[in-house]
Amino acid sequence: MRAYWIPQGVHAPLRGTSIPMNRTGRTLALGCLLLLQPLLAHAQAGGNSLLIPAMGRCTLNTQPQDLAEALAACKQAADTGDAQAQYELGEFYYDGKNTPRDLNQALSYYEKASLQGHAQAQFKLGSMFFHGEGVPANNVQAYIVLKMAAVNGAEDALDTADEVAEHMQREELEVATQVLGQIFRKYLLELQSADGRSPFSPLP
């Protein structure tokens, strides 16, 4: 899985950002970007090294007496870089149904899953930026992440991005659009370089 980053010199409230996009089965990982935890921008987006699918070893909707064991298994999967397990843990701490609600933990796990292009994690992360949940509200950040979630296939992400845009100043929207444009151009150029053909050429 390849990560594509914003070129240096982009004037935006982001550090390193890459974008999830699907084309001929490729996923572009979203290297998520956060001023709050910039070290996450250095994480490497990699495939799951375990053979068991994440949903098979990360099931937190369980009986109370089994929760501790299930939580440990889910954290182990997340620590290996499993994006779905990271997302499930984000949901677990965000919802606060079987544990005290912890927005910092939720944000951390959503970030990690977003680094690997998990669309729903990106959607939740963008929503947290929009509403200022566990992180200072940042409409530019929210708009960019939600646009990426929409490209990756998250339902309602595009509508939410449009809602965010209604609260943005023109200058903020220009910054977000500039960032997105540079990332997409960089992505297309790297696709062209990797494939030896135009990214707009017919798919095989």
Domain boundaries defined on the chain: 2-44+53-194
Average pLDDT of the segment spanning 91-101: 92
- Find the DSSP H helices in 52-202: 54-57, 67-79, 83-95, 103-115, 119-131, 139-151, 157-165, 170-195
The rounded mean pLDDT for the chain is: 73
Tell me which of 201 and 171 has the higher pLDDT: 171
Cβ-contact 33, 64 below 8 angstroms:
no
Average pLDDT of the segment spanning 57-76: 79
What is d(CA 90, CA 142) in angstroms, rounded to the nearest whole number?
17
Report residue 196's pLDDT band, with 50, 70 and 90 as the boundaries.
Answer: low
pLDDT tens digits for range 142-159: 999 999 899 888 989 999
What is d(CA 67, CA 57) in angstroms, rounded to the nearest whole number?
12
Q: In angstroms, how far is CA 33 from the centroid of its own chain? A: 9
Report the pLDDT value the prediction gives residue 57, as an integer from 0 to 100: 59
Report the pLDDT value the prediction gives residue 8, as an integer from 0 to 100: 36
Tell me which of 3 and 29 has the higher pLDDT: 29
State the CB neighbour count (10 A cutoff) for residue 58. Answer: 24
Report the pLDDT value the prediction gives residue 36, as an integer from 0 to 100: 27
The CATH number of 2-44+53-194 is 1.25.40.10
Inform me whether the pLDDT recorded for 50 exceeds 80.
no
Pairing between strand 2-3 and 22-23? Answer: unpaired
State how far the alpha carbon of 23 is from the alpha carbons of 27, 47, 153, in Å.
7, 18, 12
Inform me whether the pLDDT recorded for 75 exceeds 80.
yes
Q: In what order do the strands lie in the sheet with 26-29?
A: 2-3, 26-29, 22-23
Look at the pTM and tell me if it is higher than 0.85.
Answer: no
Report residue 197's pLDDT band, with 50, 70 and 90 as the boundaries.
Answer: low
Inform me whether the pLDDT recorded for 116 exceeds 50.
yes
